[in-house]
Structure 1
Amino acid sequence: MKKILIIGIGAGDPDYLTVQAINALNQVDVFFVMDKGVAKEKLIALRKHIIERFVTDDGYRIVEATSPERRRDDVEYKAAVDELNRDKQAIFERMIADELNDAEVGAFLVWGDPSLYDSTIRILEAISHGGQHDFDYEVIPGISSVQALAARHRVPLNLIGRSVEITNGRGIAGGFPENIDSVVVMLDTHDTYRLLADEDLDIYWGAYVGTPDELLISGRLPDVMDEIARVRADARRTHGWIMDTYLLRRRNGV
């Protein structure tokens, strides 16, 4: 039977790989890599660097496929994501069928942790339930950008005895959540934190965390939000893409 490993490779620093992830890499016959275009070629280069650094046997193969893009017109967000995942599923099915032989191990290398804001698990689960492809799969956890952000800013994610919420930019567009002290925001393309300038919040922001391009800014939200917006825009223009995360925290608790 074919086997697929979904391996979390951390937030960007190759040293973030766990021993379990390194052991998993060395089981792999075929690495599946999704190409997201010239702007994100660094992401493919880093994946290949991780493979070259940690895999001790050179008998593996790397199979690349062009990743589809999410529609960004007037289509509803969830509908656009569902369409994107269906397109990815078709590509995954083709690669598993055509590029992975029986009894071989294939792998998808996922940024951060596969359980957090990534669809690889859901896509492979859908393929498995479809019944047309006979394979088993396993998930190897990784260091997420959330963990890396907190570590780089040297702060805990939550206050003592309090919970933390993880959401996206849309999740705070209507205001800071009630009865929550700490909110981690991922996938915010519109600098939504600016809408919370009247709240008494601290922000801990990071982009490209764990990579040589890492950017970190923290402070009272009203004091640093313009700087974050400027640095973020400059970085996006420079690199052609941005991967950022931030923690918002009430200064005096709920």
Structure 2
Amino acid sequence: MRSLRVIGIGTGNPEHLTLQAVRALAEVDVVFALDKGAETADLLALRRSICAAHIAKPHRFVALEDPARDRRPADYGGTVEAWHQARADRLEEAIRDQLGAGEVGAILVWGDPSLYDSTLRVLERIRAAGRLDLAWTVIPGITSVQALTAAHAILLNRIGADVLVTTGRNLAAQGLTADSTVVMLDGDPSFDQFDPDLTIYWGAYLGSPDEILISGRLGTVAPEIRRRRTEARARHGWIMDTYLLRRP
């Protein structure tokens, strides 16, 4: 039996690690990480620094090239399924070759493993293939939703009101259906279709030294958000942002 820890590490601040995560890391022999290349090298570097800080015993850091995928596919569902399978194949091979009997492996997940992350789906694919005897435990982490509301010092919900957590793709297709809507994974935000009197709470690189926060009336601050977002993406080569839209 091979054993894995799937550990949520928060959104960029090393102090986001819980005490449970720190204890789990102390027992790890091998850390597996999917490497998206030079543009996101700082995300891989943060994982390495967390390991160096909290794994005192000798350990191995195994970086795997993340399979490429089409970001604007005609068949979104089919493309993501194929991408998950490619990840599963790559990770299964690495676990088989790098994680010995009696050793403990770990995968460090940005945010929390339960929210818009594919790690658990990928591991289920490996288990279903039946070639590896694999078990894992999940250690929760701080999500970008929590980091966003904390940074703006606001409540996620209003009294008795609903909250929807969705993606930019779904928001564009379905519109606003909840009192408060948290939007993640929005590669090309388009605010013009919505009521300009909505309130927006936007944040990028949450929890990190590069954090950017903007809030206010949507019709007033949307141009500034677009400008700051474009500048930040050009400077870093990538952007990870989240925002909350709230009805008047």
Where do 4+ consecutive residues of structure 1 move more than 4 Å? none
Which residue number in structure 2 is paired with residue 194 of structure 1?
192
Which residue number in structure 2 is paired with residue 119 of structure 1?
118
Relative to the length of structure 2, the TM-score reads: 0.97
CA contact (8 A) 1:175 1:195 kept: no
CA displacement at 1:53 relative to structure 2: 1.4
Say what the alpha-carbon RMSD is for the aligned residues: 1.2
**Separation in 2 of the partners of 1:52 and 1:108?**
15
**Separation in 2 of the partners of 1:194 and 1:236?**
21
CA displacement at 1:190 relative to structure 2: 1.2
Relative to the length of structure 1, the TM-score reads: 0.94
CA contact (8 A) 2:196 2:217 kept: no
CA contact (8 A) 1:172 1:192 kept: no
Give the number of aligned pairs.
248
**Separation in 2 of the partners of 1:47 and 1:193?**
33
CA displacement at 1:186 relative to structure 2: 0.2
Q: Does structure 1 residue 184 correspond to structure 2 residue 172?
A: no
- Indicate which of 245, 250, 253 corresponds to 2:247: 250
- For residue 5 of structure 2, give the secondary structure of its aligned residue in structure 1: strand
Which residue number in structure 2 is paired with residue 220 of structure 1?
217
CA displacement at 1:135 relative to structure 2: 1.4
Q: After superposition, give the CA deviation of every residue in 1:17-43 in whole Å (9 maximum; x if it has no partner).
A: 000011111111100011111110000
CA displacement at 1:199 relative to structure 2: 4.9
Q: After superposition, give the CA deviation of every residue in 1:31-89 in whole Å (9 maximum; x if it has no partner).
A: 001111111000011111111112222x1111111111221354321222111111101
CA contact (8 A) 1:184 1:247 kept: yes
Which residue number in structure 2 is paired with residue 138 of structure 1?
137
- For residue 151 of structure 1, give the secondary structure of its aligned residue in structure 2: helix
- Indicate which of 237, 241, 244 corresponds to 2:238: 241
Give structure 2 stretches of 5+ with no counterpart.
Answer: none
Q: After superposition, give the CA deviation of every residue in 1:200-253 in whole Å (9 maximum; x if it has no partner).
A: 3100000000111111000010000010001001100110000000001012xx
Q: Does structure 1 residue 43 correspond to structure 2 residue 79?
A: no
**Separation in 1 of the partners of 2:20 and 2:231?**
37
**Separation in 1 of the partners of 2:62 and 2:73?**
33
Quote the sequence identity (%).
50
CA contact (8 A) 2:85 2:125 kept: no
- For residue 193 of structure 1, give the secondary structure of its aligned residue in structure 2: coil
- Indicate which of 229, 234, 243 corresponds to 1:232: 229
CA displacement at 1:128 relative to structure 2: 1.1
**Separation in 1 of the partners of 2:245 and 2:72?**
29
